[in-house]
Structure formats: C-alpha cells, structure tokens
Amino acid sequence: MRYTVRTPEGELTLPDRVALERAMAVGLVGPEDEVCEEGTTRWLKAGSVPGLTRAAAAARGWTLPPKQLAQVVAIVVLGLIALALMLSGTVELAIAGALIAFSVAGWLFVLTQQAFSIKRRR
C-alpha cells in the first residue's frame, strides 16, 4: 500500500509502510507532517498514525537537558573519586570515600526522580 506524505516543502509518495517508517526514522518525515494511505482521503499527522510512534520517537532522538547532563557528569566524577578513596588502603580515606558514595547515591536518586517526572509529563 502506497503512502503520500504532505510536508511544508511539498508532497512525497512512498511505496509502502516500511519506507514510511524509515523516512520517519531518518527525519525525512516529521511527526507533524500529514500522511494519507492509498485508497483513503483521510490525512493524519504522521506522529499519530498507529504503529509509527516508535519511528517518530527514533526521529526525535534521545536528548538530555544541559543541566541534567552536567549533573550526570558530576555524579560520574564523584563516583570515581569515591571509588578511588575507598580503594586507597587507609581507613580514613575509605570512610571519606564511602560518605561521598552515599551522597552520590542520594543525588542519583533525586536525579532519577526528576527524569521520571519529566518523562511522565510528555
């Protein structure tokens, strides 16, 4: 079954559903573009066509807000520092490393909760 896609740049005809999914995955067709299946007159937004939401998500890609990216980098660095301190061989440094590790775990928990709440709002 052929599909016609209407974009701001013009119309595009794709030979089948697989080609439509691939076009969405590479960003040639966006979720806001309109799609009409051959034999019908109904135009739908590509992002709302059943089964194409996975391709639309792939076209959007995975992005992390800059603030969260900075927090993830800081967590990784502090986690490595905590590990190095715990493996240093002295009790005092190992205790300091464990305290840093517990702090990092708490921070990671909060960051995970924030990311989950952002995902639920979308």
Which stretch of DSSP H or E encloses residue 3? strand 3-7
Which one, of 64, 88, 63, lies nearest residue 75 by Cα? 64
The predicted model gives 39-54 an average pLDDT of 81
Q: Is 37 helix (H, G, I), strand (E, B) or coil?
A: strand
49-88 residue pLDDT tens: 877 766 556 555 556 678 888 998 999 999 999 999 999 9
> Do 66 and 75 form a contact (C-beta atoms < 8 A)?
no
Domain spans in the chain, listed from the N-terminal domain onward: 3-60, 66-121
Type of residue numbered 107 = W
Mean pLDDT of the chain: 84
Q: What is the pTM of this model?
A: 0.48
